[in-house]
Every structure is written in C-alpha cells, then in structure tokens.
Amino acid sequence: MGIRENIEEIRTALEKQLSSLNDIKQLEEIRQQVLGKKGTLTALLRSMGQLSPEERPAAGQLINAGREQISALLDERFSALKARERELKMQRDAIDVTEPRELPRIGTLHPNTLALDEVLAALTGLGFDVVEGPEIELDRFNFELLNLPKNHPARDAQDTFYVDDNTVLRTHTSPVQARTMLSRKPPIRIACPGRVFRADEVDATHSPVFHQIEGLVIDKDVTMGDLKGTLDALFKKLYGDDIETRFRPSFFPFTEPSAEVDLTCISCRGKGCRICKGTGWIEVLGCGMVNPKVLEMCGIDPHEYTGFAFGIGLERITMLRYGIKDMRLLYEGDERFLRQFR
C-alpha cells in the first residue's frame, strides 16, 4: 500500500471516530494517537527512510498535506465540542428572571455612624480638623492637664474606670484636646470624636460606654460670641435654619466661663411637647471658654491666646435625629431595629 493510500485510510478512520465523539478529553487522546510522537501519521513520516532519494520529496509533500487535513478535522471537531459544552453550561446556569426570589440581605450603617458622619461633615465645613486619640489614657491627659488635679472633688463626678493609679479608660475625648495643644501651636481648630467610658448605670439614657464629639478652637481674640456663632451654625446645618441655641450658666473645671446649651426642640420646633416637657427646649451639650490654667499647663500663653471648647454626646444627637427613645437599642445589635436605617 502506498503513502497516499495510507494517509487516506488514516483520514477515513479518523472521520468515522470523530462522527460519534462527544468528549474533548477523548478527542485529545485521538490527536495523540494520530499526530503524537508515536502516532500513525508520525510513523508514516519515519518510514520515508526506506524510500529512494528521488521518491522522498513527493512523499513528504503528501504526508504534510495529509497532516494539514487531519489537523483541520481535529480542530473543527474541537471547536464544535467546545461550542456544545458552552451551550450546555448556559442551559445549566440559566436564570429565570421571572422566578420570585428572596432579596439579598443588605447591611446598613449604624445610626451612630450616620449621625457622626453628619456632625463631622458640618464641623469640617466650618473649618475643623478631625483628630483622634487613645481610649486607654494617662491620668495626666485625662485629668491633670484639664485642671482636675488628684483629689479634686470634680473627679468624683467622672465615675472613672481605673487601669492603675496613673492609667484610665478615658472619661471624655478632652485628652485629645490636651495632646493637641501640647503638640501644635495656635491657631487650633479641631473636632475630637471617639468612644468614652464611665462607671455608669445602664438605662434608657445612660451607658458605661458611649461616644462624644468635642470641639476646640484656640486663636487670638476668640470670644464667647464665636462659640455661640459656631454652635448656631452647626445645629442649623444639622436640623434646619429655624433651630436656635440658648446658653445657661454652668461649671466645668476646664472652661471658664462655662455654659449648658439648650436647643430648639427638634420634635415640636419650640411649641412645646412631651419630649421637651412643654418648654420648647432640649439640653444638648456643655461648653465654655478654655480655662486660662489649661492653656498655661499645655504651653499656650493665656495672655496672647483664648479659646472655646464644647462636648456633644453622639448618642444624644442620634436619638434626637431619629426619634429613638431608648439608648440601649443602639447597642443590642437587633437586626429588626438596625434594618430601619438602611
């Protein structure tokens, strides 16, 4: 049998195999059986050594032409099998868009986070930088530099968690203010958000762990009027242009003079309701002019610079913002409650 007949026999047998082949792995095995190192066509190519030099060129052309035909048949069947495989996969993975399905469970930001973002956006819009500090704090920063030396009676009101005699869980974010005054030169305009700790009872309005946002401004010729204007601008930004603030005299060791700030009731807009107990006002924060002793202890000349500070309870803002009656709801992790803020 000549080379031409051998090639034709190999091609015919291959066509018969391919006509009923439906597996790509088997196809690759057949490719090796024909075109591999030990394949039938390769063996035919090696048999050319038995031919005379005159016969070899024509035989080589016949074998190469046969290899091209056989490769084309194998490639064509491979493409057909891959297309069939893709079609079957699409059928298996097909989605019926009309079939009712449960909606995926999507999380949401915590209401405290939503309120914090709003307050910080308002404060940064007023030119404040956001600064954070450690939650485990030295007594020096948490008390002493804020005009609360050891054995000061006002320390009793802080209900402090002590790690040791000189280390505490911070009772406010004011230590961040002290650290900033020691590390920066005026002018200073910062907002200090963070978690704070006090050995307090747990009820609808109290928790041993809660959050504060404190503000501090130190510059030349800062007055109580600047403090009032800043807080007015902040709360108008948060709650609307009809919101007003009212100052009442108070006492804090680190500010002098000090004030408690009332806000137009968010619920009734000053008309009087159950939330504001008919007064039209709700208490929201404490503030005052930075005590000159605090400035001096932090290395700032109180004769050249003045400043103001205020502290906002984040949970208070959150509860007012969303009409939440019980502070404990913010910490229970109940999805039914949190899902409302999606």
Mean pLDDT of successive 10-residue stretches along the chain, which has 342 residues: 69 73 76 73 68 70 73 79 83 81 82 95 96 95 92 74 91 96 95 93 88 96 96 92 93 94 89 86 94 96 96 92 90 88 82
Tokens at 239, concatenated? 């709650």
Using an 8 Å Cβ cutoff, are 14 and 70 in contact?
yes
Same domain, 176 and 31: no
Using an 8 Å Cβ cutoff, are 309 and 177 in contact?
yes
Domain CATH for 158: 3.30.930.10
In the listed set 63, 93, 123, which residue is the last one of a domain according to the structure? 93
Same domain, 183 and 312: yes
Same domain, 196 and 311: yes
Query: What pLDDT is attached to residue 45?
Result: 67
Using an 8 Å Cβ cutoff, are 193 and 121 in contact?
no
Same domain, 249 and 126: yes
Using an 8 Å Cβ cutoff, are 180 and 131 in contact?
yes
Structural domains of the chain, count: 2
Using an 8 Å Cβ cutoff, are 166 and 138 in contact?
yes
Element spanning 162, H or E: strand 161-164
CB neighbours of residue 198 within 10 Å: 19
In a domain, 180, yes or no: yes
In a domain, 199, yes or no: yes
Q: What CA–CA distance (Å, rounded) separates 223 from 226? A: 5
In a domain, 101, yes or no: no
DSSP state of 325: -
Same domain, 181 and 297: yes
- Containing structural domain, residue 67: 3-93
Same domain, 165 and 33: no
Q: What is the DSSP string of 175-240?
A: HHHHHHHHH-PSPEEEEEEEEEE-----BTTB-SEEEEEEEEEEETT--HHHHHHHHHHHHHHHH-
In a domain, 98, yes or no: no
Using an 8 Å Cβ cutoff, are 7 and 63 in contact?
yes
Q: How many residues does the chain have?
A: 342
Helix, strand, coil percent content, the chain, rounded in steps of 5: 45, 20, 35
Same domain, 154 and 59: no
In a domain, 104, yes or no: no
Same domain, 319 and 211: yes
In a domain, 160, yes or no: yes
Using an 8 Å Cβ cutoff, are 27 and 81 in contact?
yes
One-letter amino acid at 214 equals: E
In a domain, 102, yes or no: no
Using an 8 Å Cβ cutoff, are 257 and 288 in contact?
yes
Same domain, 275 and 215: yes
Per-residue b or e along 156-194, where b marks 16 or more CB atoms closer than 10 Å to that residue's CB = eebebbeeeeeebbbbbbbbbbbbbbeeeebebbbbbbb
Instruction: Report the largest interatomic distance among the alpha carbons of the chain, rounded to a whole angstrom.
Output: 119
Same domain, 7 and 65: yes
In the listed set 44, 60, 93, which residue is the last one of a domain according to the structure? 93
Query: What pLDDT is attached to residue 63?
Result: 67
Same domain, 137 and 236: yes
In a domain, 227, yes or no: yes
Residue 199 CB-half CA count within 13 A: 10
Same domain, 73 and 162: no
The model's pTM: 0.68
